[in-house]
Structure 1
Amino acid sequence: MDISVVIPLYNEAESLPELTDWIRRVMHANNFNYEIILVDDGSTDSSWNIITELKKSHDQISGIKFRRNYGKSAALNVGFAAAQGEVVITMDADLQDSPDEIPELYDRVKNQGADLVSGWKQKRYDPPSKTIPTKLFNAVTRKVSGIHNLHDFNCGLKAYKKDVVKTIEVYGEMHRYIPVIAKWAGFSNIQEQVVQHYPRKYGKTKFGPGRFIKGFLDLMSIVFVGKFGKRPMHFFGPVGVLSFIIGFFITIYLIADKLISIANGTVYRNVTDQPLFYLSLLAIMIGTQLFLTGFIAELVSRNSSERNKYHIERVI
């Protein structure tokens, strides 16, 4: 099979017939062998009924329905597991992504060797309350992840090599960082394609301002797990030891200063009366806790069933 189109959706009943017809026209015009996987993320409208009717008349369409709303990341993860195409295309169900972009996305993955091609909505039809935070979010993500050639990490329109979607795991709010996850998994050929963005035709957006806070927290999680997931002591250990050493030497200084003052017959206040004493005590406690955290995390990591799971590209 050439292409799997994975579409997560939540309360998008109005747009589904038009979207699937549009995809089918593009696929037939390019003679693609394809499938469309519609993942209903616990919709409360008639989305599932529409999917059921579409399935009756189109064998290429399949549907997956969640019992409740789990989020876009969960829908994508399940869709990736079900996809059989050599190239996997994801897009939103709100008709703001254009299926006309599929042939070029497919060509860049299949024939030009890209592991992942992310869409860039260079001209957006969203209000400033959405576009300004998005620009800030993308700038921070580029800086932290080291993927400097992407302008829009969160664009729903993406193309993946099959190996990518079968290797990565998407959960929480991690769908915003799929290029970062792919990079940490060893897929380095990550490209960008300028794509058309259309105004929303039906319904309203399902995302609120709280998604940016969750997004930054998830970015920190990805960076930490990607760098230190199999060696947590390398993160906690140095910071803990440094904090402990600082606290220890401050304590030695205070004690030595006290002893010198006694030897010289100088009236001197108690060590415990000085703010530096409590600072040193705090540094020692924090250092000890961080070191023990790294030690425990190392034990957990070494006893995990995933401890020796590595992504192998090929064997000859």
Structure 2
Amino acid sequence: MTTDRSFSVSLIMPTYNEAGNIADLIMAAVANVQKTGASEIEVIVADDDSLDFTWKIAAETDCPGATVNVLRRVEAHGLTASLNDAIAAAKNDIIVWFDCDFSQPPECIPQLLEKICEGYDVAVNSRYLPGGGENRSGDGSWFHLFLSRCLNYSLRYLLDPSFTDYTSGFIAVRREVFRDIRLRGDYGEYFIDFIYRVLRDGRFRVCELPYMMQPRRSGESKTGSNLVHYIKRGRKYLATIAGLRKLRTERG
């Protein structure tokens, strides 16, 4: 990737019990960002006091070419809270975050940064564009895939059909966007809420790029693997969607 101006990148990694992934992920993510010519790179690991000492492993990871900062969060746990704390701590021009189990390959970070450098404010890696997809495996993978597809197709109908992957969570954002829009919610519904409000705002340029989601390398999924887990998550998703539909109706 080439650009006429320098840019800096903050890589946010929200973690809980990712000891088997975190050190390799830090190194791989930084190596891929370095290929883009970023002038400065920081890694912020926002860890919810992992029992497997993910926070300790991250703090001890020496990554040439980047600073590694660890936020060990001992209270108010949760994905969205972790992301908000890390965003508040981030110092650089472009903020990137993604799942910390290698399911969202670090090799796909440069294409996000390329689009931001082209002038977009938000770039998202999508499973549902031509060329994208999912390569899931393990218990519950087929069910998760089925529900994810159904949810995203429904959201395109209910919210904005121009966007394809409302539950991506693999994103690069100019820090200026967060002056007016803050992440809300508990778990995956935060992304639906954030993207739709960005799209409705009208001031920001948004694009999607295809990527292939991979199986996690180690550890256990935080989303769940059975119907009970999905129902519990689904209630919050439905509440978020209802609120956004109301916003759509009120604004026309």
Q: Same fold (TM over 0.5)?
A: yes
Give the alignment's Cα RMSD to 1 decimal. Answer: 2.4
TM-score by length of 1: 0.66
- On the 8 A contact 1:149/1:192 being kept in 2, the answer is no
Aligned to 2:111: 104
- The correspondence for 2:58, drawn from 51, 58, 61, is 51
More strand by share: 2
**Following TM superposition, by how much is the alpha carbon of 1:186 offset from its aligned partner in structure 2, in angstroms?**
3.6
- Deviations along 1:45-76, one digit per CA (max 9) or x if unpaired, are 21111122126977511111211362211111
Letter in 1 for 2:52: D
Offset at 1:193? 0.5
Residue 90 of structure 2 is aligned with which of 83, 89, 92? 83
Report the residue type matching 2:145 in the other structure: T
Partner of 2:199: 183
Alignment check: 8 A CA contact 2:41 2:66 kept: no
**TM-score, length-scaled by structure 2:** 0.81
Answer yes or no: is 1:4 the counterpart of 2:17.
no
SS for the counterpart of 1:152 is coil
Q: Secondary structure of 1:175's partner?
A: helix
- Listed one character per residue, the Cα deviations across residues 60-111 of structure 1 (whole Å, up to 9, x for unaligned) are 1111121136221111111221222222111111111112222221111122
Residues 206 and 184 of structure 1: CA distance in aligned 2, closer, same or farther (over 3 Å): same
Distance 2:158 2:8 in 1: 34
Conservation of the 8 A alpha-carbon contact between 2:47 and 2:55: yes
Note the alpha carbon deviations across 1:29-58, whole angstroms, 9 max, x for none: 333121111111232221111122126977
Structure-1 separation of matches of 2:64 and 2:114: 29
2:133 to 111, 123, 128: 123
Q: Secondary structure at the match of 1:104?
A: helix
- Structure 1, residues 127-155: CA drift from partner, whole Å, max 9, x if none? 22101111121122222222x23221111
Indicate conservation of the 8 Å contact 1:40/1:66, yes or no: yes
Specify the alignment match of 1:144 in structure 2: 158
Residue 40 (str. 1) matches residue 47 (str. 2): yes
1:85–1:26: structure 2 CA closer, same or farther, 3 Å change rule? same
Residues of 1 paired with 2:106 and 2:144: CA distance? Answer: 23
1:214 and 2:236 equivalent? yes
Say if 2:25 and 2:102, in contact at 8 Å, map to a contact too.
Answer: yes
Identical-residue share of aligned pairs (%): 22
Per-residue deviation, residues 197-226 of structure 1 (Å, max 9, x unmatched): 221110110113121221121122234357
Aligned equivalent of 1:156? 169
Which residue is equivalent to 1:283? Answer: none
Aligned to 2:148: 134
**What is the aligned counterpart of 2:120 among 103, 114, 118?**
114
- Go from structure 1 to structure 2 and tell me whether the alpha carbon gap of 1:49 and 1:135 turns closer, same or farther (over 3 Å shift): same
**Matches of 1:226 and 1:51 in 2, distance apart?**
42
User: Residues 55 and 218 of structure 1: is their aligned pair in 2 closer, same or farther, counting only changes over 3 Å?
Assistant: farther
C-alpha separation between the residues in 2 aligned to 1:171 and 1:55?
33
Q: Which runs of 5+ in 1 are unaligned?
A: 232-316
Q: What CA distance in whole angstroms lies between the structure 2 residues aligned with 1:35 and 1:107?
A: 18
User: How far apart are the structure 2 equivalents of 1:3 and 1:21?
Assistant: 15
| Matched length | 228
**What letter corresponds to residue 203 of structure 1 in structure 2?**
G
